[in-house]
Amino acid sequence: MLREIKFWQKEVEKIASIPVFTSTKKLVRAYGKESNMGNLFADAVAATDERIDVAVINRELLGRILMPEL
């Protein structure tokens, strides 16, 4: 079991280390309204597969992941 976990960790690391997007602007969160950070993430998700028509980003979870200090 541990061998399988280590194998998949390496596989995920290969993918997770690839930049998905970049921004020259400062990314900000906005409570109760759209933010450029959420829009950028939604656009990145939608760009991963042409079958995706809509991408909804949970701002609360996004904030906890990217800005845990806030």
pLDDT tops 70 at residue 25: yes
CA–CA gap between residue 17 and residue 34 (Å, rounded)? 27
**What was the pLDDT predicted at 20?**
77
Give me 63's structure tokens: 């904030």
Give me 60's structure tokens: 């609360």
Question: What is the number of residues in the chain?
Answer: 70
Output the pTM of the full model.
0.54
